[in-house]
Amino acid sequence: MAQTINRDQCDDGKLRRREILTRMLFWAVVVVLLKVFLSIVVEYRRYFPADFESNFLSGRRHSFTGGYRQAFYVHILSSPVALGLATFLMISGGKKRWRVLHRFVGRIQFALVLLVVVPSGMVMAKDAYAGPTSAAGFVSLNVATAACLVMAVWRARGRKFVAHRRWATRSFVLLASPLLLRLIAGAAIVSGLESERSYQLNSWISWLIPLLIYEICFAYPKPRQSQLVNQDKVRVEAGESG
C-alpha cells in the first residue's frame, strides 16, 4: 500500500513538473508570437497608402485593385481584432466570473470571423503568391477555421463544454497561424532559402503543424493528467465560490 502511494506521489510530481515546463514553454512561445504580431502591426503604416516596396505588397502593384484591394484592408483590420478576442476567450473560458462576458465576446467573435475574416481571406487566397498550391493552402486554412468555430459554438449550445474548448482551441490555433507563417517566412529570408517552393510549403505547414501538435500533445490528455487538471479546476471553483 505504501509503495503504491509513493509511486502515485512520484507520478503526480512528474506530471506537475511537466505541467510547469509546458506552461513555461507556452509563455515563451507567446512572447515570440507577440513580437511577430507587433512587427506585423507596425508594418501597417506602409499599407496606408499602399507601399509596393513593403514585404507583403512587393510585386502586387498591378493586382492590388478591385475586390482584392478591398478584401486586403478588411482582412488586415479584422484579423488582429479576431485574434485578440480569441485570446480573451481562451483565457476566460471556464471561469465563472467571466461567464457572461465570455458568451457575449464569443458571439461577436463568431460573427466577425464567419462574416468578415474568412470571406476576406478567401478573396485574398485566390491571388496568393506562388500560385495554386499556396492558394489551396490558404483556402483550406479559412475553411478549417470556420468549421472549428462552428463546431465550438455547436458544442457550447449542447453544453458539451470539454468538446467546446477543444474546438475553440483549434480555432484559436488556426487564427494565430499567420504569425507562424510570418516567422517561418522571415527565417527563410534570413537563411537564404526564400523561394516560391518554400512559400508554398509554408502556406500549409504554418497551420497544419501547430494543429497537429495540439491534437497529439494537448487535445486528449492522459487519464492521470486529466484527473490532476480536474482536481485543480475543482479547487479554483471552490475558492471562487467561497
Whether residue 40 is contained in a domain is answered as no
Report the distance separating Cα 91 and Cα 16, nearest Å: 20
- Predicted confidence at residue 167, as pLDDT, reads 96
- Is residue 119's pLDDT more than 70? yes
Structural element, H or E, at residue 93: none
**pLDDT tens-digit readout, 35-68:** 888 888 888 899 988 998 887 887 788 778 889 9
Whether residue 3 is contained in a domain is answered as no
Cβ contacts of residue 203 below 8 Å, gap of 6+? 128, 130, 133, 134, 137, 138, 141, 181
Q: What is the mean pLDDT of the chain?
A: 85
- 10 Å Cβ neighbour count for 190? 9
- Predicted confidence at residue 107, as pLDDT, reads 96
Whether residue 228 is contained in a domain is answered as no
Domain hosting 162: range is 66-221
Helix, strand and coil content of the chain, in percent to the nearest 5, comes to 85, 0, 15
Whether residue 30 is contained in a domain is answered as no
Check if the beta carbon of residue 123 is closer than 8 Å to that of residue 110: no
Check if the beta carbon of residue 164 is closer than 8 Å to that of residue 155: yes
Whether residue 157 is contained in a domain is answered as yes
- Predicted confidence at residue 9, as pLDDT, reads 53
Report the distance separating Cα 223 and Cα 49, nearest Å: 54
Q: Which value, to the nearest 10 degrees, does the dihedral of the CA atoms of residues 77, 83, 87, 93 take?
A: 110
Q: Give Rg (Cα) of the chain.
A: 21
- CA 46 to chain CA mean position, Å: 25
- Predicted confidence at residue 227, as pLDDT, reads 52
Whether residue 15 is contained in a domain is answered as no
Whether residue 100 is contained in a domain is answered as yes
Whether residue 125 is contained in a domain is answered as yes
Provide the whole-model pTM. 0.82
**pLDDT tens-digit readout, 175-204:** 999 999 999 998 898 898 888 999 999 999
- Predicted confidence at residue 234, as pLDDT, reads 44
Check if the beta carbon of residue 194 is closer than 8 Å to that of residue 185: yes
Q: Give the pLDDT band of residue 241 (cuts 50, 70, 90).
A: very low
Check if the beta carbon of residue 133 is closer than 8 Å to that of residue 197: no
Cβ contacts of residue 73 below 8 Å, gap of 6+? 47
Structurally, the chain folds into a number of domains equal to 1
